[in-house]
Amino acid sequence: MGMTAVARSIKGGLRTEVDVNGRHVLVTDEPGRLGGTDEGPAPHELMAAMLASCTSTMIMLYARTRDWELDDVRVEVAYDSESVPRHVTVHVYLPGGLTSEQIKRLRKVADTCPAKRSLEAGFTFDQHLVVGGHDSLAA
């Protein structure tokens, strides 16, 4: 499945509107200390948000198919963008009253997050600079 994102800078500043799959718009920005207006998360901050929301969604989707009541699921992600290799710590908070079998299954489901699996698999990049409508340089 292909996904797209198109980012456009706003008025030449660091605030950016990102169109996701032609259906949603996100705003990113940098904090004031870097010259931004802090009107949205910095782009690299979206990594933790992506992993937290993906994990939570997978758990809730699975619970829904089983008619499990999971009213209070919280996923906290800490992303260390300076370590090599990068390091992510995920804490999944589930409500009480679950059986040990439900907990075991939800632990496995949390690992199925497509964002996490993509990061674990690794990436290759093809990057092109387009100047004046012509693909001028491949990086």
Name the average pLDDT for the chain: 92
Whole-angstrom Cα distance, residue 43 to residue 23?
Answer: 19
Strand, coil or helix: what is 127?
Answer: coil
- pLDDT of 132: 84
Whole-angstrom Cα distance, residue 88 to residue 46?
Answer: 13
**For residue 138, pLDDT beyond 70:** no
The residue-averaged pLDDT of 42-64 equals 96
- pLDDT of 2: 84
The residue-averaged pLDDT of 95-112 equals 96
Which segments of 1-139 does DSSP mark as H helices, in order? 46-65, 100-110, 114-121
